[in-house]
Chains A and B, each alone.
Chain A
Amino acid sequence: MSISSQSSLPAWTGTPSYIADESLQAIVNVAIGLGRPLLVKGEPGTGKTLLAYAVAEGLKLPLLTWHIKSTTRAQDGLYLYDTVARLNDSRFGDHDVRDIAQYIKLGPLGEAFERSQKGERVVLLIDEIDKADIEFPNDLLHELDAMRFTVAETGREIVAAQRPIVLITSNAEKELPDAFLRRCVFHYIEFPDEASLSRICRVHHPDVDEKLLAAALRRFVQIRAVQDLRKKPTTSELIDWLSSLRLSGIDAAKLEATLPFAGVLLKQENDAQKVFRTTLPRR
């Protein structure tokens, strides 16, 4: 491999606001060391996207994000040729439209390659890759492997001098092709256990009342354990719920028998009823 993937980057160890356990730290560092994209899956609200922000912050590198939609094509990540702007300029003529290069706009992947030529390493987040067409990941394979592509309109070749750190998130709405998976380092972020949840809550609510936190956590874990919820509450909903509890000054003891602000946690009518039925004491 001609492009260096080894570098003098320090090991990533998480950030003050993003708590990463040892195994996640090890996996991130292995992916960086091997120069492979890191594919992250996990339940909503387990911090897949935030991981990219935390990696960039921890390593003090700029972050480029590429949010994938159902209409995104692989080409969009490399570059766009703005034909409409060129047509417009040719009619109102204050530019030299013979120079096509000025109408080529690099996409996130192209930009990551170009910045690496200037010696700047970046973290590239490809968010929710499963939103795109089934063939999308395959179309990216070559560019991710060879770290180069050619702008067909100008003949200019863009070559990365250093592999960008690529993080990819997926919600598993579509299966990803095998050839693509083979090139990735894969990690499934598990839903945090009660101890980690408590640590995460403390990061966001440093001065929270211990009793309230313990009672809220107990309730939260109990709700998540209810069978057949259509949408289980996530970490971010727990944090919002804590905010509401604190703002309204609710007493921790009250959480034993009632579920205030249930709407913050449970967004589906059926789920709410199921939780009320199974976890609240009968009157």
Chain B
Amino acid sequence: MFEGFHSVLRLAGLKVGVGEWLTVTQALDNGLIGPSLKEFYSTTRALVCRDEADYDRFDQAFSAYFQGAALPTPVSQMLESWLDNPLAKPPLSPEELAALPEYDLEQLRKLYEERLKEQTERHDGGSHWIGTGGTSPFGQGGQHPTGMRVGEGASGRGQAIAVARARRFRNYRDDIVLDTRQLAVAVRRLRRLERKSRRLELDMPETIRKTAANGGDIEIVERPERRNQARVVLMLDAGGSMDPHVRSVQAFFSAMKQGGGLRDVEAYYFHNCVYAEIYSDMALLKKKSLAELTRSVPPNTNLVMVGDAWMAPRELFSPYGSIEYGTTDEVPGIDRLRDLAAAFPKRVWLNPIPENYWGESTIRAVGEIMPMFPMTVEGMVAAVQVLLGRGDRVAKRAPKRPWPSPQEMF
């Protein structure tokens, strides 16, 4: 039963293995799931989701699979009468097709619902209303490339679908930007424990061994406590384009400083890109030379850069690229980044802007030098894996929208 549903769930990005799916069928076979669609919805959700972050994906898969039931009855009956006997129209040329606006699912759904509210009669061959044979994104037999097919057997089973379509769990997806606690948990994984502390603790096994060897006279043995030896050099972009992300950067910063239990966290600031000098204060007044920083890097030091890497190409690729008043550097920013990369084998770049903008030329160029991750829970966990040298466990993600490389642009 519902074999197709299993693959739709997997397509939506849920890790539903054979085991989970067998559990669902077992529950169905044993009559544990009642006949209503709503009960099927909530129980399968409980069996295949492992985290509330999965709920949104589940909702999308559920409404996609049971799509026929997506509309409440009265509207759909009216719609069906508009959509009967679709008008046939010659196919569009590729140019005409390309001229039509493309929509993603979310926009489409909103538009559709607006249209539905306004529309009062049947339309054929048009470009706006829900109808047949046209270029409107909604209707039947139409030619819109990213349009939505409306109709066919709306059966009014609607309740669970309506729940699923509401997508109330969007906020629980783990690609949202982090709060401090989750971050601190992620940062804590960076720890490198070594017995280098000056504080001593009782070495129990050794004490017992020595005491036994002593014939029962207690001899206490001590050893240095284990302490976290991991260090982090933080470099934060203080440029104007980062202003919208101030809150998430603050959260990140405090988690690094306090929550991580790291041995040492040094913070530096830069404006858009790193040049010959970096700053140890946010107002960009106290300078420190980059060469001084990269000269001697203690072991177990991780470089974490935070910035949007979004700037004018000349700020990154040209000599004298800095737009900061009073700074001149004949070396292009990108080469300064390469210097940093050479000095810090363990390095990542966290980017607060959404991944679908990462096709921008400067972001891509920076991403080639610094492994780049989104500033979200998922991204932070993946970044920590890379810093721990387990980068091969992280699936490489290609930018979603390919843009021309800098070479192609100039």
A contact residues vs B (CB 8 Å cutoff): 6, 22-24, 26-27, 29-31, 33-34, 36, 38, 41, 173-175, 178, 181-182, 184-188, 190
Contacts and interface: CB of A to CB of B under 8 A. Distances in A.
B395 to A, nearest CB: 16
A174 B49 contact: no
Contacts of A6: 30
Contacts of A181: 50-51
Most buried by A among B26, B50, B55, B185: B50
A33 B50 contact: no
Contacts of B27: 30, 33-34
A175 B23 CA distance: 23
Nearest to B31: A33
Contacts of B172: 188
A6 B172 CA distance: 34
A174 B186 CA distance: 10
Given A6-B30, A173-B181, A27 B43 contact: yes
Contact of B52 (A38, A41, A182): A41
B20 interface: yes
Contacts of B39: 22-23, 26
A34 B46 CA distance: 12
A206 B321 CA distance: 71
B38 A30 contact: no
Contacts of A178: 50
A185 B47 contact: yes
A30 B28 CA distance: 10
A34 B23 contact: yes
A224 B185 CA distance: 27
A23 B42 CA distance: 6
A173 B259 CA distance: 13
A175 B185 CA distance: 9
B280 to A, nearest CB: 29
Nearest to A41: B52
Nearest to B168: A190
8 closest cross-chain pairs (CB), A and B: A23-B42, A188-B52, A181-B50, A33-B32, A27-B46, A26-B39, A30-B32, A30-B43
A3 to B, nearest CB: 15
B205 interface: no
Nearest to A39: B50
A26 B49 CA distance: 16
B19 interface: yes
Contacts of A185: 46-47
Contacts of B33: 26, 30
6 contacts: A23-B41, A27-B46, A33-B27, A33-B32, A34-B27, A188-B172
Interface in B185-200: 185
Contacts of A22: 38-39, 42
Contact of A186 (B32, B49, B181): B49
B47 A30 contact: yes
Nearest to B49: A186
A22 B43 CA distance: 10
Given A22-B38, A182-B50, A186-B49, A29 B32 contact: yes
Contacts of A174: 185
A33 B39 CA distance: 15
B317 to A, nearest CB: 39
B19 A182 contact: yes
A118 B155 CA distance: 52
Given A30-B27, A174-B185, A186 B34 contact: no
A33 B46 CA distance: 13
Given A30-B43, A178-B50, A182-B17, 18 more contacts: A22-B38, A23-B39, A23-B43, A26-B34, A26-B42, A27-B42, A34-B26, A34-B32, A38-B46, A173-B181, A182-B19, A184-B50, A186-B46, A186-B50, A188-B52, A188-B55, A188-B172, A190-B168
A130 B41 CA distance: 27
Nearest to B20: A182
Nearest to A173: B181
Given A23-B38, A173-B181, A187 B19 contact: no
A109 B87 CA distance: 68
Contacts of A184: 50
Contacts of A24: 42
Contacts of A23: 38-39, 41-43
A188 B43 CA distance: 12
Nearest to A28: B46
A25 to B, nearest CB: 9
B148 to A, nearest CB: 29
A188 B168 CA distance: 12
B137 to A, nearest CB: 33
A265 B189 CA distance: 35
B15 to A, nearest CB: 8
Contacts of A186: 46-47, 49-51
A31 B46 contact: yes
B185 A33 contact: no
A79 B82 CA distance: 70
Most buried by B among A6, A173, A175: A175
A34 B32 CA distance: 8
Interface in B43-73: 43, 46-47, 49-52, 55
A41 B32 CA distance: 22
Contacts of A29: 32
B51 A30 contact: no
Given A23-B39, A41-B52, A188-B52, A33 B47 contact: no
Most buried by A among B19, B33, B168: B33
A210 B63 CA distance: 38
B46 A30 contact: yes
A237 to B, nearest CB: 21
Interface in B118-164: none
Nearest to B27: A30
Nearest to A29: B32
Contacts of B168: 190
B274 to A, nearest CB: 32
A14 B175 CA distance: 35
